[in-house]
Structure formats: C-alpha cells, structure tokens
Amino acid sequence: MLKRNLPPTHPGEILKEMFIVERGLTITEVAKGLNMARANLSSVINGHLGISPELAVKLSEAFGNTAQFWVNLQNNYELWHAERKVKRSEIHRFYKESA
C-alpha cells in the first residue's frame, strides 16, 4: 500500500457526510437528539472542535456503532497532525538505539 501525505479526514466531516447527510437528517435534529447545542455540533462538523469521549459515547448510541470508532477517528486525525508539527530532531532521547 502506498503511503501518502494526505491528512486523514476530520471526524466531523465523516459525521456529516456518512451519518447526517446520508440519512437525510439536519444538524439541528441530530444536535437535539444528542442533547447538545447546535452550535457545538456545528463546530465539530466544521472541523473547529474534535470529538470528545463524551460525544463519542453519544454518537455511538445514536448511530449504532462504538464509541471507540469515533475516538479512533479523532486520535488518528490528531496524531497525523502532531507527527508533522513535532520536530523530532529537537527531542532528547533517553534510550540507546540497539545496533
């Protein structure tokens, strides 16, 4: 498999396209069903906020998948960005590499 430097899709975009739009739902309906403010859900969908563990539990209940699914999407997204932000050459290593 080829590794590309394309970032993973933000979990909010996956939520919007695969779980809201595909089911013909509105953000307002989903926010109400999740017992959360529409503005907060909109911020997640627009990539301004991530999916918290609490939201992951709510989404798993609402859409019949697991909280781990949502947490993994968020972790993969954040880790991809962290790998590009951290300058590994500036980090002191406290171990010896084996020969």
- At 14-32, the pLDDT tens digits run 999 999 999 999 999 999 9
Task: Report the half-sphere exposure of 75 (CA within 13 A, side-chain side).
Answer: 8
Which one is the CATH code of 9-65: 3.30.420.40, 1.10.260.40, 1.10.3720.10, 1.10.1060.10?
1.10.260.40
The residue ranges of every structural domain in the chain are 9-65
Query: 73, 14 in Cβ contact below 8 A?
Result: yes
Q: What is the pLDDT of residues 41-99, one digit of tens each?
A: 999 999 999 999 999 999 999 999 999 999 999 999 999 999 999 999 999 999 988 76
